[in-house]
C-alpha cells in the first residue's frame, strides 16, 4: 500500500482516539497532515505530537471550516477519518466529499440528515465514503465482490444496550447513570444514550439505506448481546455471509483507512472456541419506542422526517444528559417534533441546515416545558 496522507476530525473523542492508535500502529503507511478537536486544546496538542501532524485545528474557532478544506486541498490529503459526532458538522462532511476527498465516516447523523445530497456529491466527484460504524463496516465487507440484486436481506446487529432484558414497565424509572453503562462498547455519552434507547440502531438503518442503496424492506435489526457478529447479509440463494470480530472500533477504522488493503488494527481476532454461545432475538418495539419511530420514518422515505427525527433526538438526549427530562421522555419529544413536520425534503445543503435548526428549536422548546 502506498503511503496515504490522512486527516482526523474529532481526534480527542472515543472514535478519534481509536483512530490515533490505528494510525500509530501503521506509521509506515500514513502521514498525518492534520488533526482537529472542538474545544479540547490539550488533547488536540497531545494527538498532534503523537502522530507528528503538521496542523492542529480547533473547530470551535472562527473560520475552522475553511481552514480544514484549505489544508485538505493544499496538502492533497487522501482520506479523512471523520470521527466527530453530531449533526452540526453535516456541511463539513458534504464539502469534503464535494472536494473529491475520500472519507472514513463515523458520523451517522450527516447521512441520516443529508444522505442523498452527500452520496450524490461523492459520486459526482469520485470520493469514496468508507463506513466506520462497526455494523456498516461489516455490511461493506460482506458485500465486497457481491451483486446488490442478489441481496435478500441486510441485518444489522445490536447489543440491545443496558436495558435489553429490562421489562418495558420499568422504563419509566431509568436513571441517567444506568443509561450511561453500556455492557459491551466504550463510547461517548450521546451515542451511549442512543444505544440505550436503540435510536442508534434506527439511525443506522437509515444510514444503511443510503450507503448501500437498499430498499427499506431489505433492512432489519436483531439483538445480539455478545456483539461478536456485527452484521450479516442473506442472499437470494439462501446463503448468509456475516462479519465477526471482538467489539472494538479499531477494527472498522483499520478497514476503512486501509481499504482496499488490510492493515494492523492492533485488535486480537475473536476466538470462537471461547464463545460459549451466540444469541439472537428480535427487539421489542413497544419497549424500544425510538427504534419503532426510526423504522416508521425509514419506511416513509422522507428526508424531512429523517432530519426532524435526528434533530429532535439529539436535543432530547442532551436534555436527558443534563437531567432536564426523563429517559422515557426521549421518544415523546421526537414524536411531538415529527408531528410538526412539513414534509418537504431539502434540495440543497443550505436547506438541510435550515431544517436542522428549525427542528432543533422545536425540540428545545418541548424539552424546556417538560
CA distances for 159 relative to 96, 109, 176, 205, angstroms: 32, 20, 19, 15
Annotated binding site for Mn(2+): 133, 135, 204
User: For 280, left (φ over 0), alpha (ψ -120 to 50), or beta?
Assistant: beta
Residue 185: count of CB within 10 angstroms of its CB: 16
β-strand 219-223 against 151-158: which pairing, if any? parallel
Find the mean pLDDT for residues 236-260: 98
**How far is C-alpha 80 from the geometric centre of its chain's CA atoms?**
15
Q: Is 193 exposed, middle or buried (0-12, 13-18, 19+ CB in 10 A)?
A: buried
Cα distance between residue 151 and residue 235, in whole Å: 5
Per residue in 128-151, pLDDT tens? 999 999 999 999 999 999 999 999
Q: Is 69 exposed, middle or buried (0-12, 13-18, 19+ CB in 10 A)?
A: middle
Per residue in 49-94, pLDDT tens? 999 999 999 999 999 999 999 999 999 999 999 999 888 899 999 9
C-alpha cell at 326: 426523563
Q: Please say whether the dihedral angle defined by the alpha carbons of residues 305, 198, 205 and 37, taken in this order, is positive or negative.
A: positive
Q: Is 228 helix (H, G, I), strand (E, B) or coil?
A: coil
Cα distance between residue 182 and residue 236, in whole Å: 35
Cα distance between residue 216 and residue 205, in whole Å: 8
C-alpha cell at 294: 426510526
**How far is C-alpha 74 from the geometric centre of its chain's CA atoms?**
28
Find the mean pLDDT for residues 207-236: 98
Cα distance between residue 172 and residue 170, in whole Å: 5
What is the pLDDT of the chain when averaged over all its residues? 96
Note the pLDDT of residue 323: 94
> What is this structure's pTM?
0.95
Find the mean pLDDT for residues 257-261: 98
Confidence of residue 182 (pLDDT cuts 50, 70, 90): confident
pLDDT at 370 over 80: no
C-alpha cell at 133: 460504524
Note the pLDDT of residue 109: 92
Cα distance between residue 332 and residue 299, in whole Å: 20
Per residue in 231-243, pLDDT tens? 999 999 999 999 9
Find the mean pLDDT for residues 304-321: 96
% of the chain exceeding 70 in pLDDT: 99
pLDDT at 343 over 90: no
DSSP 8-state assignment for residue 168: G
Per residue in 160-171, pLDDT tens? 999 999 999 999
Find the mean pLDDT for residues 7-13: 97
Hey, what's the torsion of the CAs at 55, 60, 65, 69, to 10 degrees? 10
Note the pLDDT of residue 276: 86
Q: Who's near 98: CB < 8 A, 6+ residues apart?
A: 121, 125, 127
Q: Is 135 helix (H, G, I), strand (E, B) or coil?
A: helix
Find the mean pLDDT for residues 183-205: 89
Note the pLDDT of residue 186: 66
User: Domains of the chain by range and CATH?
Assistant: 4-131 (3.40.50.720), 133-246+269-300 (no CATH), 302-370 (1.10.1740.10)
pLDDT at 353 over 80: yes
Annotated binding site: 12-15, 40, 107-109, 133-135, 159, 182, 188, 195, 200-201, 204
Residue 258, preceding peptide bond in cis (omega within 30° of 0) = no
Cα distance between residue 168 and residue 219, in whole Å: 25
Annotated binding site for NADPH: 12-15, 40, 107, 109, 188
Phi and psi angles of residue 53, each rounded to the nearest 5 degrees, phi first: -75, 150
Cα distance between residue 111 and residue 90, in whole Å: 8
Hey, what's the torsion of the CAs at 14, 357, 311, 247, to 10 degrees? -20
Amino acid at each position: 500500500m502506498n503511503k496515504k496522507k490522512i486527516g482526523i476530525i474529532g481526534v480527542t473523542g472515543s472514535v478519534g482516539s481509536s483512530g490515533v492508535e490505528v494510525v500509530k500502529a501503521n506509521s509506515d503507511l500514513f502521514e498525518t497532515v492534520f488533526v482537529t478537536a472542538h474545544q479540547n486544546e490539550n488533547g488536540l496538542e497531545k494527538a498532534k505530537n503523537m502522530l507528528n501532524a503538521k496542523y492542529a485545528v480547533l473547530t470551535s474557532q472562527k473560520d475552522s471550516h475553511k481552514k480544514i478544506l484549505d489544508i485538505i486541498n493544499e496538502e492533497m490529503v487522501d482520506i479523512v477519518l471523520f470521527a466527530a459526532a453530531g449533526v452540526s458538522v453535516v456541511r463539513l462532511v458534504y464539502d469534503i466529499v464535494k472536494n473529491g476527498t475520500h472519507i472514513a465516516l463515523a458520523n451517522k447523523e450527516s447521512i441520516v440528515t443529508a444522505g442523498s445530497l452527500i452520496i450524490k456529491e461523492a459520486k459526482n466527484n469520485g470520493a469514496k465514503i468508507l463506513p466506520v460504524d462497526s455494523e456498516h463496516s461489516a455490511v461493506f465487507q460482506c458485500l465486497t465482490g457481491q451483486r446488490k440484486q442478489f441481496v435478500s436481506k441486510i441485518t444489522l446487529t445490536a447489543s440491545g444496550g443496558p436495558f435489553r432484558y429490562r421489562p418495558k414497565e420499568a422504563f419509566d424509572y431509568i436513571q441517567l447513570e444506568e443509561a450511561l453503562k453500556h455492557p459491551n462498547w466504550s463510547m461517548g455519552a450521546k451515542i451511549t444514550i442512543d444505544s440505550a434507547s436503540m435510536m442508534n440502531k434506527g439511525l443506522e438503518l437509515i444510514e444503511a439505506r443510503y450507503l448501500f442503496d437498499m430498499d427499506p424492506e431489505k433492512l432489519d435489526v436483531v439483538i445480539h448481546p455478545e456483539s461478536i457478529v456485527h452484521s450479516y447479509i442473506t442472499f437470494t440463494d439462501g446463503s448468509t455471509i456475516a462479519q465477526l470480530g471482538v467489539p472494538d472500533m479499531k477494527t472498522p477504522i483499520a478497514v476503512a483507512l486501509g481499504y482496499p488493503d488490510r492493515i494492523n488494527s492492533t485488535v486480537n481476532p475473536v476466538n470462537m472456541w471461547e464463545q460459549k454461545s451466540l444469541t439472537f432475538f428480535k427487539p421489542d418495539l413497544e419497549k424500544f419506542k425510538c427504534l419503532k419511530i426510526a423504522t416508521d420514518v425509514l419506511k416513509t422515505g422522507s428526508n424531512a422526517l429523517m432530519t426532524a427525527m435526528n434533530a429532535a433526538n439529539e436535543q432530547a438526549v442532551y436534555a436527558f444528559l443534563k437531567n432536564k427530562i426523563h429517559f422515557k421522555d426521549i421518544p415523546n419529544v421526537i414524536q411531538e417534533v415529527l408531528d410538526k413536520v412539513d414534509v418537504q425534503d431539502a434540495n440543497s445543503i443550505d436547506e438541510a441546515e435550515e431544517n436542522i435548526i428549525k427542528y432543533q428549536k422545536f425540540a428545545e422548546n418541548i424539552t424546556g416545558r417538560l
